[in-house]
Amino acid sequence: MPRLPLRWTADIRAPSLCAARQTTLLRALAHLLPTDKGYVTLVSPLSSPVSYTPATLTPPQWRRAIVYVAQRPAQANGSPRDYLRRVTSFKANAAHGHPIATSHSDYSLSDPIAVASTWNVAVDCWDKPWNQLSGGESQRITLSIALSLNPTVLLLDEPTSALDPDTTLLVEDSLKNFNCLWITHSPEQEKRVSSACLSFIRHPTVSDAYTVILDQ
């Protein structure tokens, strides 16, 4: 079972024929897809040697600690500000309320509107209908909301695919202190952000099966 240390960003590599499995892996880790077998353990990044699994937390608590950010955010009804209100009203998200401590003692990314503005998102975008936003605006707004939850782990499915190079660098800088599993198809981005790599290797004997290997 791959084990990642504190403060890591792991890129996920896969052959082109099984690229969809990268997204499947992230969704399974976020407990958004059922799994037949296997387990995930999340260990508190602070001194307390406490570990958690999807069985010891409610699904909302688990998804609050391990936040999945899709490449193409689902377009909810209303505006991003409406969506933000709904997200922050959830019991598991209220007052950053989940039992897994994080190491962000001085957390400076709790205001997603302010964070998104540093990524060149105009404030008035938060009051526009989702379908009036560009793909890049939707990506940045969704990611800024994810950061505001102060998650223990971010599961990122090509989070900057719709951004220009300069804005991509701004987003990467904001993510540098987070634990991330990051799908990217940019070798240059992989070099900038990754401290480890999870590689899908075709199983030598089982048809259409892959093993995930951790390289650090």
Query: Between residues 97 and 143, which one has the greater pLDDT?
Result: 143
Domains along the chain?
A: 9-215 (3.40.50.300)
Q: Is the dihedral of CA 76, 110, 62, 1 positive or negative?
A: positive
Interatomic CA distance for residues 87 and 81, integer angstroms: 10
Interatomic CA distance for residues 181 and 92, integer angstroms: 22
Question: Is residue 97 scored above 50 in pLDDT?
Answer: no
Mean pLDDT for the chain overall: 80
Q: Taking the complete model, does pTM exceed 0.75, yes or no?
A: yes
98 pLDDT band (50/70/90 cuts)? very low
105 pLDDT band (50/70/90 cuts)? very low
Residues near 54 by Cβ (< 8 Å), separated by ≥ 6? 31, 40, 62
pLDDT tens sequence across 24-78: 889 988 888 877 776 677 765 554 545 667 677 888 888 888 899 999 887 778 9
Residue 173 is inside which H or E element, if any?
Answer: helix 165-175
196-202 and 9-13 strand pairing: parallel
Evaluate whether 11 touches 193 at the Cβ level (below 8 Å). yes
Token pair in block for residue 102: 């994080």
11 pLDDT band (50/70/90 cuts)? confident
